[in-house]
Each structure stands twice: as C-alpha cells, then as structure tokens.
Structure 1
C-alpha cells in the first residue's frame, strides 16, 4: 500500500489577524495591538497533520496575486504538495480574524480561488491508496465549487476514507449534496454548533449518536468538539466516550478545531485507535490555544511530552477562560 497521506480538498486562504481588546460597537472602531498575515483556513488542518508525521497534498484552488503567492510559499514551506496550478483569473481568498482579550475570535471572509473548482481541474487530482481525504463544508457551500467537488467525491473508490468537516457554514450546503457527503463519510469531525445544524439535536450527549445512526450509514464514527468540555467520540457499535479537555490558559482559539482535526487524522493514519487519536487531538488543541496563530499545532513529540505530564487521577475540567477544540 502507498504510504498514508492527507489529501485535503478544502479551501486554504490567507488570514489577516488583528488582536483587539474587544469588538467595536456597530459603526465604531477598535485599534489593534498586534497584526499578522498568516496562511489559514484549510492550511491549519494540513499543517497540524504534517507536523504529526503525515504526508499532505492540497487539492484545492489557489490564486494569482499577492495572497496566492503568500499561500503557496506557506504550503511549500510546510512540506505540503500543491496539486493544482494557480488560477489565472482570481487571487486566493482571505479572512479578517479579530481576536479579543479573552482569546475568542470573530471572522469576515472573502472567498477567492479556493471557492472556484471545475470538473476539469478536479480530474487532475488523483487519489492514491492510503489517502485520507478531507472535505470542508466551505468548499461544498460555494456555488462555483460544490457541484464539481460533489461529482468528484462520488467517483472515489469506496475503500478510500473520507473525513468530513462541516465548518460553520454547514447550513449553506444544499441539502442534496450534504446528504450525499454524509452518506459517503467515514468520519465526521465537527463542533457542537455544527452538529446541531446537522441533527436538530440540542443535547451534546445525543448529537454524535444521532448523526451516526441517522445520517452517516457508512461512517465508522463521529468526533464532536465540545470546547472546554472536551470531545465526544461515538464509534459504531460501541458506547459513547467523552474525553475531557485539558486545563490550559487560552490566549488564541483561532485554529484550535483545525488542529484537532489534523492531529486526529494523522493518528488514525498511523493505525492508532480512535480513542487514542481523539485524546491526542484534545491535547494538541489544548497546546495550540496557548500559542498565537491559527497554525499553532504542536509536533508529535510535543504532544507526547504534554500527555506524559498529565496526572491520570487529576480532573481535566478546564477553567472558565479556557476555550479549546472549536
């Protein structure tokens, strides 16, 4: 079998990050204490997987312009293979990220080349045996990419695992496409707000089971990120497991959910159990929120050191300021 690889079909963008005391009122203004331009979006998931030993290829769109150039340099610098040529007509998209003193983030996004995929472009993306294919709700929500990506997904061999990340825009995915992707998914990794949209359930302990039994007939399991509560893992035919969060002081929650997903996939690709993979994902997200930047995922060695330092009998309930695994 070919060596495992994450094949990421979501949208990588460029983030313009502003650290502010608090969001300004409508019509008001906030002065940022710090600013950074970094690669973001799907890049954060890819970077997390790559730092944890998994080869990564990017099958999404990227543009011609300053943001596209910046993004490609970041992908190449992280050791991520770029499969498609750049768009000749549009730059890569970007996202304004505002992070307040509590570490919470707010976004304003502009979709670019990553939101436009054609059948001809996707025909050049050839999955390999051993690939773990990650599909983002963002790409499935865009009018100029969702139909080609849906057709590409339906053409995949059934033995290739598909990880579906619904993303906050899940409600914008057309129902027919959403149902088809859920039916094809091997794993769904989502936060509780996204799971509520998918299931209509408002009880966290029920969402994963409902999603698996009623919406994902081919899935092996569901992993739901529950912020400071940790994560809920539901595998087919097994009792649900709740993995508590680790107590840390959060300074930046941007990209914590992306880190969680990337590390989870990297661990599954190494044939770790789903429970061990979810525990490593929780630890990775906890570490990431103590660092600035969306692509703040730790390496595998850093996760090992972090887990080795945890007291098995100590409670893992996070303090009120801690928000992770988003």
Structure 2
C-alpha cells in the first residue's frame, strides 16, 4: 500500500478504476455481425485511474480515491497504482461487487468504442470521501469524472470548496448534472459531445465550441476547456478565449487521449504554469499518447516531452 507524500504539487483524483479488455478490429461490426479482430490485451484503466496515472507520469504527486471489487482485477488495479507511485490507501475494496470492466474496440482508423460495467465504482459514496477529506487540505487540485455516482462527485466538489481546493471536472461519460455543481467547478474539461449534451448546442468546430463555452461559463463555471481532438482545444474564461491548435501527429489509437490531456493540464497548473501553458503541456502529452496503443500504456512520462 502506497501512502500519500506531502508536496506542493499534490493532486487528488476521485474516480473510477476499470479493467480494460481491449481488442483491435479492422472496423466497427454491424448489428448482429461477428467480426474477427486481433491483438487482444487486458490492462488497468478507468477514467479516474487513467487520469491519476497521467498526473503521476507527468510529474505530479498523486493520491487516488475510489473502489474496486474483492477480485483479481481489483488486486491488479491497486498494484498498478502502487507501481506508478500513486497513493492507494483510499482505494477501498467492496466485498459484494465486482470490479469495473470496460470492453474496448479500436479500429484501423484509430477510433475507439467503449462499453462499461462500472461495478464497484458505483459504490463510491459520501462516507468514503469524508474519511479521506484530509487529503484535500493544501492540495493543488481535485480531479473528478463521471464514472462514479453524480451524487458522489457533487459531494467531493463541496468538500473541496471547504478546503479551498480547486476542482477540475471532466464530465465523462456525458450526463446531465445538477445546477448546484456548476459554481463549484474551477475547470470544466468536456470533449465535443459532452459539451453539446451539457449545453444543448452542437459542437463540431472552433466557432461552435466558442458558443458552447460561453453557455457553460454562464452557468457559473470559472474556466472551460473544450477538447476538439485533432482540432485542438478551445480555452475560455470570463476574461478571454483562445483556440490552441493540436500538435500534428499520426494517431494510431485515441483511447485515453483526453485523460492524458487532463493529467498534463492538472500538473501544469499545480506547477504554477499559466492556463494556456498548462493546456499546451496536456496537449503535448496527449499528442504523443495517441501515437501508441492502449489507455494507460500509451500515457507518456514527463522526460519524453520537450518540457
């Protein structure tokens, strides 16, 4: 079990741990079709764990709060966190629920399709966060996603505000959110489809991202970063907005790209970088990540980047 180390760059990730079952396929199968794939692998994943690993590999000192089942997948996922130097003391074990699992197919166009059985992630509750609340004292950032219950996410954000800890929310998988959560969010990082669901406005390019970002800021969010894949990232606050083009690369697998971006961005902010420079760090990491296969396996280390 890895304990949390004190650091001015400490980052707390509350979220999911899933075992990823990944298969490469030439294309997405049609309904009712059996399609022969290739290159099957099993590896630790989950948006929460992916973001924790990204933060750790890119220079952050990280603690993870989550839940796994009392099974082989759960043991393997906790061992993986420890191997990355991530504090796992607050990753609980649920004896009655299986660990989360993700079924992922990646086609020859580097597009991924994911089906989730969230398992023990659905059991992460307010009392687990209360027991770990001390980690938020002096932390640089609380990082949240939506593969755990929305009520738990809301409670985490409220706790963070009590400790004056900034909150980053990656609203994925896309879901409706209660109005009271918006003012609690310092950094909202949706992709195109998530921004569209949250605003009811189509998001397909930079101009439409600007419209969606304005709508999200109007809800009370302080900073919005809409990731646009190969089109880059649109950054907006109530004082300015800016499009940051993507680094040109030949992608082979986009699985985990958003999680890698969030890791780099969070670490950059924790190091005192500007909003734009932190976002560029996230973009550099994500650009390198999509040239590799897998989710956690594709996340680069800081030494691999130019900064």
TM-score by length of 1: 0.85
Aligned partners of 2:51, 2:245: CA distance in 1, in Å?
Answer: 22
1:97 aligned partner: 104
Q: Is the 8 A contact 2:174 2:197 kept in 1?
A: no
Correspondence 1:16 to 2:21:
yes
The residue number in structure 1 matching 2:45 is 40
SS of match in other structure, 2:147: helix
Of the structure 1 ranges 20-29 and 114-123, higher mean CA displacement relative to structure 2 is found in: 114-123
Aligned to 1:252: 253
State the SS of the aligned residue for 1:90. coil
CA apart distance, 1:152: 4.1
Secondary structure class of the residue paired with 2:102: strand
For 1:209 and 1:78, the matched residues in 2 are separated by 37
From 67, 71, 74, give the equivalent of 2:73. Answer: 67
Pick from 121, 124, 137 the counterpart of residue 128 of structure 1: 137
Structure 1 residue 236: deviation in Å? Answer: 2.9
Equivalence for 2:209: 204
Deviation at 1:58, TM superposition (A): 0.8
Of 77-86 and 296-305, more deviation after overlay is shown by: 296-305
Output the CA distance in 2 between the equivalents of 1:45 and 1:78. Answer: 12
Q: Determine if contact 1:5/1:132 at 8 Å carries over to the other structure.
A: yes
Distance, in Å, in 2 between the alignment partners of 1:28 and 1:243 is 40
Deviations 1:8-59 (CA, angstroms, capped at 9, x unpaired): 1111211000001112221111222101111112221111110111011111
| CA RMSD of superposed structures (Å) | 1.7
Superposed displacement of residue 89, structure 1: 1.3
- 2 CA distance for matches of 1:107 and 1:263? 23
SS at match of 1:233: strand
Alpha carbons of structure 1 residues 250 and 84: separation in structure 2 relative to 1, 3 Å: closer
The answer as to 2:113 corresponding to 1:112 is no
> Hey, what's the Cα distance between the residues in 1 that align with 2:260 and 2:101?
19
Post-superposition CA distance 1:202-226 (Å, at most 9, x none): 21222222211x1125x2x111101
Q: TM-score, normalised by structure 2?
A: 0.90
Residue 4 of structure 1 corresponds to: 9
Provide the residue aligned with 2:3 in structure 1.
none
Distance 1:84 1:148 in 2: 15
Structure 1 unmatched ranges of 5 or more: 140-144, 306-326
Gaps of 5+ in 2: 1-5, 203-207
Shift of 1:153: 3.0
Q: Aligned partners of 2:63, 2:122: CA distance in 1, in Å?
A: 18
Residue in 1 aligned with 2:242? 241
Q: What is the CA distance between 1:95 and its match in structure 2?
A: 0.3
Other-structure match for 1:142: none
How much has 1:165 moved relative to structure 2? 0.7
